[in-house]
């Protein structure tokens, strides 16, 4: 996919910001000096990016002259994702891009959920009936104990934090990932492959 006008806009000093609207639409904006220069929205991210590319080339049109006229007035986004960019935005996270020298810098940011207790540990605790310690990749240590649900009597596990690394929050935490490349998509791919930086 090519978005030549977005690439031109970034070289001209615009900053790209993408997010999920309250109705789930994928929204892309280009701004320079806090002035809107291009806008695109669609139920899926790549189509919203195409709308942004067209809008910047057309000089940044008024919303009402595009949506409901050229394109439908979209009300909600899809609840499933077509690609990794779409999934990132669907999950309520942001994408930002700007020119950095001769390259494009893409920053992915947002809340992520901590990893879950692996099924093998859960099954071991349930079958043995004995608590077990588990340390996740972020350094939290948990006591995983057997638990019987009062309503239906099914077995499950409960967690208790034994050790929490200083300054880290449990469960939901904010991260960023960055990538630099010659084009937006090159930088985006590198950002997805980059290590998470916990904020």
The predicted-structure confidence for 71-117, as pLDDT tens digits, reads as follows 999 999 989 999 999 999 999 999 999 999 999 999 999 998 888 89
Residue 112 has a pLDDT of: 87
- Whether 145 and 87 map to the same domain: the answer is no
Asked if pLDDT for residue 180 goes beyond 90, the answer is yes
Residue 31 has a pLDDT of: 98
- Whether 131 and 88 map to the same domain: the answer is no
- Whether 61 and 129 map to the same domain: the answer is no
- Whether 19 and 67 map to the same domain: the answer is yes
- Whether 82 and 25 map to the same domain: the answer is yes
- Whether 105 and 128 map to the same domain: the answer is no
Rounded CA separation 109/129 (Å): 40
Share of the chain above pLDDT 90, in %: 86
pLDDT digits (tens, 9 = 90+) for 133-158: 999 988 999 999 999 998 898 999 99
The sign of the torsion formed by the CA atoms of 66, 85, 185, 37 equals positive
Could you give the dihedral angle defined by the CA atoms of residues 70, 43, 109 and 159, in that order, rounded to the nearest 10 degrees? 170
Residue 14 has a pLDDT of: 98
- Whether 41 and 103 map to the same domain: the answer is yes
Number of other CB atoms surrounding residue 90 within 10 Å: 19
Number of other CB atoms surrounding residue 163 within 10 Å: 10
pLDDT digits (tens, 9 = 90+) for 29-76: 999 999 999 999 999 999 999 999 999 999 999 999 999 999 999 999
Asked if pLDDT for residue 198 goes beyond 90, the answer is no
Confidence category of residue 26, pLDDT binned at 50, 70, 90: very high
- Whether 191 and 131 map to the same domain: the answer is no
Residue 113: exposure state from Cβ atoms within 10 A (0-12, 13-18, ≥19): exposed
Residue 108 has a pLDDT of: 98
Rounded CA separation 20/89 (Å): 6
* Over residues 12-18, mean pLDDT: 98
The answer to whether 29 touches 18, Cβ cutoff 8 Å, is yes
Rounded CA separation 41/4 (Å): 18
Q: How many domains does the chain have?
A: 2
- Whether 87 and 179 map to the same domain: the answer is yes
Mean pLDDT, all residues of the chain: 94
- Whether 26 and 85 map to the same domain: the answer is yes
Asked if pLDDT for residue 168 goes beyond 90, the answer is no
* Over residues 4-12, mean pLDDT: 98
Residue 184 DSSP class: H
Tokens in use for 114?
A: 């901590």
Confidence category of residue 120, pLDDT binned at 50, 70, 90: very high
What Cα–Cα distance (Å) separates residue 152 from each residue in 29, 122, 123? 49, 18, 18
What Cα–Cα distance (Å) separates residue 14 from each residue in 30, 97, 118? 6, 9, 44
Tokens in use for 194?
A: 């980059």
Residue 143 has a pLDDT of: 95
The residue segments making up the domain with residue 127 are 119-163
- Whether 12 and 90 map to the same domain: the answer is yes
Given the DSSP bridges, would you call strands 103-113 and 15-20 parallel, antiparallel or unpaired? unpaired
């Amino acid at each position: 996919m090519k978005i030549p006008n977005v690439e031109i806009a970034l070289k001209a000093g615009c900053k790209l910001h993408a997010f999920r609207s309250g109705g789930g639409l994928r929204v892309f904006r280009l701004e320079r000096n806090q002035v809107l220069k291009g806008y695109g929205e669609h139920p899926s991210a790549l189509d919203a990016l195409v709308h942004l590319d067209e809008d910047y080339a057309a000089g940044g049109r008024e919303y009402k002259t595009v949506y409901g006229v050229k394109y439908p007035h979209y009300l909600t986004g899809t609840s499933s994702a077509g690609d990794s960019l779409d999934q990132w935005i669907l999950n309520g996270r942001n994408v930002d891009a700007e020119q950095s020298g001769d390259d494009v810098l893409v920053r992915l940011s947002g809340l992520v959920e901590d990893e879950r207790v692996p099924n093998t540990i859960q099954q071991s605790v349930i079958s043995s009936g004995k608590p077990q310690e588990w340390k996740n990749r972020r350094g939290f240590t948990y006591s995983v104990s057997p638990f019987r649900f009062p309503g239906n009597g099914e077995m499950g596990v409960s967690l208790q934090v034994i050790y929490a690394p200083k300054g880290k929050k449990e469960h939901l935490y904010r991260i960023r990932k960055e990538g630099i490349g010659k084009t937006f998509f090159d930088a985006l791919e590198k950002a997805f492959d980059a290590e998470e930086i916990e904020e």
